[in-house]
Amino acid sequence: MKPVASPTPDTQEWFDRIDVGELTVAHCQNCALRFLYPRMCCPGCGSRAVGLIPVSGRGSVASWVVNHRGPGVFAEEAPYVIALVRLEEGPMLMSNILVEDPNAVSAGLPVRAEFEQRGERRVVQFVPEVGTV
């Protein structure tokens, strides 16, 4: 089976929400900064008044690479796209872009989140918005 990330105390709730199909970002209640990865203190102002807020799951490709030689269990899926996705709400998230043709990915490509079940956990991946590829 493909690996999944191991939550830390700061990211446990974030991963738990992904497991039920909800994408969230950390939000500072002091300065309103939205950020990823979740942590106990705001990277902007240092406040500990941080919580999670749901986001749309829509964004666009900021940067990407096509991996032609995946390691281990990923080898059979090569080539595949690993990308930085800028969410509509601001933060960036690294994830796969699921496409038939990796050459169809470009900067600014509109994408939306999907959740892949891996054992007892889910992972966030992105697909192009309908009609964009």
Supply the CATH number for residue 77's domain: 2.40.50
Q: Do residues 40 and 98 both lie within one domain?
A: no
4 within some domain: no
Phi first, then psi: what are they for 36, rounded to 5°? -135, 145
65 within some domain: yes
Q: Confidence class of residue 9 from pLDDT cuts 50, 70 and 90?
A: very high
Cα of 114 vs its chain's centroid, Å: 9
Average pLDDT over residues 21-46: 98
Domain around 23: 9-54
Q: Do residues 63 and 119 both lie within one domain?
A: yes
Tell me how many domains the chain contains. 2
Quote the percentage of the chain above a pLDDT of 90: 94
Instruction: Give the Cα separation of 19 and 6 in Å (integer).
Output: 13
Q: Do residues 95 and 112 both lie within one domain?
A: yes
pTM, two decimals, is 0.92
